Structure 1
Amino acid sequence: MSLAVLKSRALAGMEAQQVNVEVHLANGLPAFTIVGLADTEVKEAKDRVRAAIQNGGFEFPAQRITVNLAPADLPKESGRFDLPIALGILAASRQIPADILDQYEFAGELSLSGELRPIRGALAMSLAMTRDAGRDCGHNGEHGKEPVKQRTPPGKADRRGFILPQANADEAALVNGAAIYPASSLLQVCAHLAASSHEAMLTRHTSALAVAMTEVADLADVKGQFMVKRALEVAAAGNHSILMVGPPGAGKTMLAARFPGLLPPMTDDEALEAAAVQSLTGGFRIEDWKRRPFRAPHHTASGVALVGGGGYPRPGEISLAHRGVLFLDELPEFDRRVLDVLRQPMESGRVTISRAAQQAEFPAHFQLIAAMNPCPCGYHGHPSGVCNCTTEQIARYQGRVSGPLLDRIDMQIEVSAVEPDTLAADADGEPSTAIAVRVQRAAEIQLARQGKRNQFLTTREIDRLCKPDKAGKAKLKRSMEHFQWSARAYHRILRVARTIADLAGAQGIGEQHIGEAVQYRRALKDR
């Protein structure tokens, strides 16, 4: 009897928990059994592994093969366990050496020919592996405690190497300090483990990334709409959510598409978080590194598509927009129940999905940009006067967006139709790059003052950092009484006013800052 144990990872939300792939060969009638709460995709590995081993020139043992994926109560899915299962069989049957298997972690789907195909979640797995190694080595432990010693893998102290498909190498190598060894086939991995020649050794992969300077849509292309552009600048500076209300053709979608160009550059940590989420769906592209996500789901999207879910939970649009922008066009056309699932993630910045088998938590720090028409025909308040919608129809249409959701949107602005003379004139608006400089300066002020953007200020921090002067308090009190706004609206106005003051370089919040913030919550006049 022979036994081989290898390390791999299983995805559970954003976590990539370690899995021991235990392969046992015993005498008896030939059989191949996979246990350990394996999904259908994992159980189908039996046929892929058998063909890959045989086509690689190895002997598939005619014995009773038992593969245990431990821990047994952790769900396992996808084909990422093909490679460690195949290597375990070869090591247990003594066709490859087993003495250095503990120095690596393995993941990869096998084709019948033995080629390695890309997997989902390579970045999340690499990140988890590096963090675990840091904890094991005492880097994240309490001061004064003796670090835990670990076997030294080839070429890198204190952590295992990660052998995975070549197609996932750039993605996994984004994690600083990760020891990534890409391979194109099972045969190449076996040759590396056997180390029969220097040429057969896998080469450690390092990421040589440069931030792509791609051309982005410029806000200067939008003619007119100067007040809306100002509102977008405030929203970008404070990370505030915004709703644009206006007739068809006023430029709402065009403005939203240019909004990411105003946002501050992503930090390394933000870029890694966003890339790790996208990696879980296999949608991360290396050219998108440090580019803020912009997600624009269609209004027919379901609640699961928006928030995430499934038997094995995967992130939805709000998590894929993490550290970026979620644009919801034609907001009232979304199912009201679908929209209402946004309420809790907008407040907490995360979403928890509970299923019978497991619970998964995904980050969801997204900036919501929404657009809608003011009425069913879209032309309520238009200078042409073509709207025939009744007051009841308008109220019913706007009522498709619930009051609690609207209350959570910081800024609600009106986008008026553009005059023909303005459309015929040359575009003379301020370029996005100039606005982005002011946004970045305001963001730096916020980080220096409170360590976070204004959108994330708590109630106690608002009371301390967002106190208006005497005239500002009076104006805010009058507005609250006139519009019957909620306590949540009160705090959101103060957050926006704080951002407006930061853009102006003002230490305190004055009446003019409160006045401008109040104007950004008056788009839906019929509510």
Structure 2
Amino acid sequence: MLFKAFSAAVYGIDAHLIEVEVDFSGAKLEKSIFNMVGLPDTAVRESRDRVQSAIRNSGFDLPTTRITVNLAPADLKKEGSGFDLPIAVGILGAYGALHARDLSGFLMIGELGLDGAVRAVPGVLPMAVLARDNGIRRFIVPAANAREAAVVEGVEVFAVRSLTEVRELLNADSLGTLAAQPVRVQAQDLLQETEVFPFDFKDVRGQHTAKRALEVAAAGSHNILMIGPPGSGKTMLAKRLPGILAPLRFEEALETTKIHSVAGVLNGEQGLVTQRPFRSPHHTVSDAGLIGGGMVPRPGEVSLAHNGLLFLDEVPEFPRNVLEVLRQPLEDGTVTISRAAMSLSFPARFMLAAAMNPCPCGYFNDSQRECTCTPPMIQRYVSKVSGPLLDRIDIHIEVPAVQYKELRQGSAAEGSEQIRQRVLAAREVQHDRFSRTGAQASPKRGKAVYSNAQMSTQQIRLHCELNTDAERLLERAMQQQGLSARAHDRILKVARTVADLDGAQDIAVKHIAEAIQYRTLDRSYWS
């Protein structure tokens, strides 16, 4: 007898509908023969043993016959343990243990333990979106994944803990006696919860210029590079940066949660990523770990930092080939990973914060300590951060050593909350601007724009007009510093953010001057 159940597989951050077909041959055998087709990987093939043990240990009979399972479409490779549950349900339906004969209204996913327990799997949120878009009304998920799936409106999510519960749920539905209540989550309420940040800018003494640069970076989501000697506070400043970032909007939170769900790093109790991600990979990370990879590509650190902050401490310690793969996500906001079987794209629109010493010993240009590095040593060290990569970083700022008097001053520094209020006001200005011009009206026609750093060339021309004096200042800076066309656009974006923080509608000379100041740590810094 043939029976069908429906599940899903995730490729990239999008799910695809998988039809699980189970067929029993009529003849009884001395021993069951279990065949699985449809391009299953090792984890899927091993489900034969898990499923059979789970069925028996849940108190169901398993006839000794030939069982054939087909995962359609057969040209897509299936991986992971999430097909255990639909395969087991298909087997139960095929030999008559279910009252229902048609499960087209259900999507189901879950790994089975040998005792029949239903365990959590990654990628449930994209599957819930798939169910909604395909008109599948009910989604059966492991209890640990229920809140994550329930974030998607328009789908009834049922949390199950065992194979027995699944059978009772399906039988009750077929008889019209379904009493189970779907899990409900108010996603908007989750985003309104108070954010708690463990680090505060009031702990930072001195470094007023660096703190101003970080405020500008947070207000416009600009990439920033901090250069300074060891112990000057670069890492300390970076750890406090999340505390002044604007909160996630719902569309951003949903997209970020999909990535974390696929990667299997989502907090099941939370269900939705409500704070901007902060990722800080070690300098030993591989290019695949940073960008993503695998036989079936998975998201890397740049995608996990999507809509958040990626912090690279001691940038020159990273292998150069690892740093160079950052070019595409910094420019396009996406990462494309190509394999022989498929090519997948992951969102990777993040804010980059990087820190480095000016030389191997760390004391080049330091007024207090003498640098022991030779010019060739400095050149080799600095060359690990290539010109094209440096060009894609909007703000370069020097973080000098803090003087003793600043360290011991009694007055408290400005806290993160005050800085954040100014950042939020600037981001509201940007949101209103891009909403009026349609930059957020239809993301399908292009990426929605939420900050100045995400502006396209056309939007720069529209929103970054300069008066005559500002035009002359920018032209002089471009010629004297030998800046590229990309640096020109970055300066305009930063100037637009400085003007927004200042509450100015037009970009003035002082705004351009401050933006140019943030490019003075280009290659001329080491000359």
Q: TM-score with structure 1 length normalisation?
A: 0.92
Question: Is residue 281 of structure 2 the alignment partner of residue 303 of structure 1?
Answer: no
| Two-structure CA RMSD over aligned residues (Å) | 1.7
Query: What residue is the counterpart of 1:188 in the other structure?
Result: 165
AA aligned to 1:485 is L
- Spell out, residue by residue over 1:150-208, the C-alpha distance to the aligned partner (whole angstroms, 9 max, x if none): xxxxxxxxx42000110111111111232100100001111111229999843211115
> Which region of structure 1 is more displaced relative to structure 2, 8-17 or 464-473?
464-473
Choose from 247, 255, 262 the match for 1:265: 247
- Equivalent position SS for 2:104: helix
Query: What residue is the counterpart of 2:181 in the other structure?
Result: 203
> Which region of structure 1 is more displaced relative to structure 2, 281-290 or 489-498?
281-290
* 1:9–1:18 CA contact under 8 A, matched in 2: yes
- Equivalent position SS for 2:98: coil
* 2:225–2:396 CA contact under 8 A, matched in 1: yes
AA aligned to 2:392 is R
AA aligned to 1:131 is D
Choose from 400, 409, 414 the match for 2:393: 409
Q: Distance in 2 between matches of 1:482 and 1:60?
A: 80
Question: Is residue 117 of structure 2 the alignment partner of residue 115 of structure 1?
Answer: yes
Shift of 1:462: 1.4
Q: Distance in 2 between matches of 1:27 and 1:447?
A: 64
Query: What residue is the counterpart of 2:229 in the other structure?
Result: 247
Query: What residue is the counterpart of 1:150 in the other structure?
Result: none
- Equivalent position SS for 2:80: coil
Question: Is residue 193 of structure 2 the alignment partner of residue 215 of structure 1?
Answer: no
Q: Which runs of 5+ in 1 are unaligned?
A: 134-158
- Spell out, residue by residue over 1:463-512, the C-alpha distance to the aligned partner (whole angstroms, 9 max, x if none): 22212211111111111111111110011101101111111111211111
Query: What residue is the counterpart of 2:256 in the other structure?
Result: 274
Q: Distance in 2 between matches of 1:267 and 1:490?
A: 30
AA aligned to 2:499 is A
Shift of 1:427: 5.5
Query: What residue is the counterpart of 2:24 in the other structure?
Result: 25
Q: Residues 42-191 of structure 1 correspond to what in structure 2 (within 5 A)? A: 42-133=44-135, 159-191=136-168
* 1:221–1:427 CA contact under 8 A, matched in 2: no
Q: Distance in 2 between matches of 1:256 and 1:506?
A: 28
Q: Distance in 1 between matches of 2:46 and 2:373?
A: 58
- Equivalent position SS for 2:134: helix
Query: What residue is the counterpart of 1:294 in the other structure?
Result: 278
AA aligned to 1:5 is K
Shift of 1:214: 4.6
Shift of 1:449: 1.7
- Equivalent position SS for 2:323: helix
- Equivalent position SS for 1:368: strand
Q: Distance in 1 between matches of 2:194 and 2:128?
A: 26
Q: Distance in 1 between matches of 2:133 and 2:319?
A: 40
Query: What residue is the counterpart of 1:476 in the other structure?
Result: 474
Query: What residue is the counterpart of 2:526 in the other structure?
Result: 526
Identity of aligned residues (%): 49
* 1:10–1:17 CA contact under 8 A, matched in 2: yes
* 2:100–2:171 CA contact under 8 A, matched in 1: no
Q: Distance in 2 between matches of 1:129 and 1:178?
A: 7
Query: What residue is the counterpart of 1:398 in the other structure?
Result: 382
Query: What residue is the counterpart of 1:138 in the other structure?
Result: none
Q: Which runs of 5+ in 2 are unaligned?
A: 436-448
- Spell out, residue by residue over 1:402-451, the C-alpha distance to the aligned partner (whole angstroms, 9 max, x if none): 11000000011000110111112236221111111111111121222234
Choose from 328, 338, 341 the match for 1:357: 341
Q: Distance in 2 between matches of 1:427 and 1:390?
A: 41
AA aligned to 2:504 is A
* 2:394–2:490 CA contact under 8 A, matched in 1: yes
AA aligned to 2:215 is E
Q: Distance in 2 between matches of 1:456 and 1:393?
A: 36
Query: What residue is the counterpart of 1:152 in the other structure?
Result: none
Question: Is residue 430 of structure 2 the alignment partner of residue 428 of structure 1?
Answer: no
AA aligned to 1:484 is G
AA aligned to 1:173 is A
Question: Is residue 345 of structure 2 the alignment partner of residue 347 of structure 1?
Answer: no
C-alpha spacing 1:258/1:198, structure 2 compared with 1 (3 Å): farther
* 1:188–1:200 CA contact under 8 A, matched in 2: no
Query: What residue is the counterpart of 1:487 in the other structure?
Result: 485
* 2:4–2:102 CA contact under 8 A, matched in 1: no
Shift of 1:309: 0.6
AA aligned to 1:207 is V
> Which region of structure 1 is more displaced relative to structure 2, 107-116 or 374-383?
374-383
Query: What residue is the counterpart of 2:459 in the other structure?
Result: 461
AA aligned to 2:62 is F
- Equivalent position SS for 2:495: helix
Q: Distance in 1 between matches of 2:115 and 2:98?
A: 19
- Spell out, residue by residue over 1:344-371, the C-alpha distance to the aligned partner (whole angstroms, 9 max, x if none): 1111111111111222111111100000
- Spell out, residue by residue over 1:226-262, the C-alpha distance to the aligned partner (whole angstroms, 9 max, x if none): 1111111111111110000001111111111111111
Q: TM-score with structure 2 length normalisation?
A: 0.92
> Which region of structure 1 is more displaced relative to structure 2, 416-425 or 210-219?
210-219
Q: Distance in 1 between matches of 2:34 and 2:180?
A: 30
Query: What residue is the counterpart of 2:441 in the other structure?
Result: none
- Equivalent position SS for 1:362: strand
Q: Distance in 2 between matches of 1:384 and 1:37?
A: 65
Q: Distance in 2 between matches of 1:13 and 1:449?
A: 32
- Equivalent position SS for 2:97: coil
- Equivalent position SS for 1:6: strand
AA aligned to 1:11 is V
Choose from 231, 234, 241 the match for 2:216: 234
> Which region of structure 1 is more displaced relative to structure 2, 57-66 or 316-325?
57-66
AA aligned to 2:335 is V
Q: Distance in 2 between matches of 1:99 and 1:23?
A: 13
Q: Distance in 2 between matches of 1:450 and 1:123?
A: 28
> Which region of structure 1 is more displaced relative to structure 2, 364-373 or 167-176?
167-176
- Equivalent position SS for 1:189: helix
Question: Is residue 427 of structure 2 the alignment partner of residue 443 of structure 1?
Answer: yes
Shift of 1:132: 3.0
AA aligned to 2:230 is P
- Equivalent position SS for 2:222: coil
Query: What residue is the counterpart of 1:4 in the other structure?
Result: 3
Shift of 1:401: 0.4
Q: Distance in 1 between matches of 2:55 and 2:509?
A: 75
> Which region of structure 1 is more displaced relative to structure 2, 213-222 or 335-344?
213-222
- Equivalent position SS for 1:228: helix
